[in-house]
Amino acid sequence: MIEINNLTKTFGSFKAVDGLSLRVEPGEIFGFLGPNGAGKTTTVKILSGIMRPTSGSVSVAGFDVAARPLDAKRAMAYIPDEPFVYPKLTGWEFMRFIGDIYAVPLHDQKKRIPGLLDMFELTAASGELLESYSHGMKQKLLIASVLLRRPRAVLFDEPTVGLDPKSIRRFKGLLADIAREGAAVFMCTHILDMAEKLCHTVGIIYRGRLITKGTVEEVKKMTAAPGVRSLEDVFLELTE
């Protein structure tokens, strides 16, 4: 479960996130939508523990991220919008590194890593240094590393940027699987079509404030404008 209570983050006089509160239940895929600079990345960074809130609190899998950061981080997986990884490690070594850091038993790593690499078609490149990987390959490797550690909460920031169509389709299936296994999924995305088809609930953030949240159908009903049919129409109307 992911819980955000009255979260505010300011940079100088600029309020990036303003009094945000929401909750993502285990097994739920939540799509966090908003235009550029609305506060999505800031929110997900605070959830992951790499940024501190100005006020309010966030908790992941029942652990307050500020008070019990290690427990919270052990239970979650975070993938940022830019897949920066260690350029001088190979794909195989990177998977082992993540496995070791998140205390995945050695025999488990040896058994599961080849399958995960295979799933993302990275087996042939797994002995090469990550500096030679493309953006999409790095993204796939990060997603594979998420599956290795079986987290209880997953935070994705624009996860499909750089992925090829085949990988995007596979990713959608995996996301549904992760949720089915009971993890809470928090996903920032610009791809409204994907959010509409994949997410159980969506929230729209605009200028730091959550302007709407609910199931896709509920959000669609929130606008009375004639001719509104898709989530994209709602999004554009609410954020203009």
Partner 1 sequence: MLPVLLVRKAVTLRNALLGLRGWKLIKNLLFAGVGMLMLAALYTGFWRLLNYLEGVELIGPMLSWKLTSMVLLMTFSMVIVSSIIISMTTLYYSFDLKFLFSCPLDSRSVFMDKALETVFYSSWTLILAILPYIIALGRIKGLDFGFYLAYLFLMAPFVMLAGAFGIFFSMLVMYYFPSSKTRDVTWMLGSLSVGFVYVVFRFSRPERLLRPDSLEVVAQYIQYLQSPTAPYMPSWWVTKAMVAYSAGSWGAFAASAGVLCGVAGALYLLIYHLAGRFYMRGFSGAQGSPRFKGRRETLPEQRLGARYPFLRPSLTLYWKDRLMLARDARYWSQIILIAALVAVYLFSIRQLPLDSPDIKSFISFLNVGVAGFVMAAIGLRFTFPAISLEGSSYWLLKSAPLTTAAVMREKLMVSLLPSLAVGFLLITVSNHLLGADLFISVLSTFTILVAAVVITVMGIGFGAVFPDFNVENIHQLESSYGGFLYMACAMGYLSLLVGVEAWPVQMHFAERFGRDNPWDPRAVALSAALFAALNAAAFYIPWKAGVRNLERHEL
Residues that bind partner 1 (CB under 8 A): 45, 48-52, 69-71, 73-74, 78, 80, 82, 84-90, 92-93, 96-97, 100-103, 105-106, 110, 126-129, 131-132
Residue whose CB is less far from partner 1, 1 or 76: 76
Q: Give the C-alpha separation, 135 to 132, whole Å.
A: 10
Q: Which residue has the tokens 């030679």?
A: 132
| 144 vs 194 by CB, closer to partner 1 | 144
Closer by beta carbon to partner 1, 104 or else 234: 104
Q: Which residues of 36-74 are buried (b: 16+ CB within 10 A; e: fewer)?
A: eebbbbbbbbbbbbeeebeebebbbbebebeeeeeebbb
Listed in sequence order, the residues at least 6 apart from 105 whose beta carbon sits closer than 8 Å to its beta carbon are: none
Shortest separation between residue 222's beta carbon and partner 1, angstroms: 34
Tell me whether residue 121 or residue 128 sits nearer to partner 1 (CB atom). 128
Min dist CB 216 to partner 1, Å, is 29
Give the residue among 54, 47, 48, 44 at the shortest CA–CA distance from 11.
54
Q: Which is nearer to partner 1, 119 or 168 (CB)?
A: 119
User: From the CB of 70, what's the least distance to partner 1, in Å?
Assistant: 5
Under 8 Å between Cβ of 85 and 101: no
For the CB of residue 66, give the shortest distance to partner 1 in the complex, in Å. Answer: 11
Cα 53 to Cα 120: distance, rounded to the nearest angstrom? 35
Minimum distance between the CB of residue 128 and partner 1, rounded to whole angstroms?
A: 6
Sheet holding 14-24, edge to edge: 14-24, 2-11, 55-60, 63-64
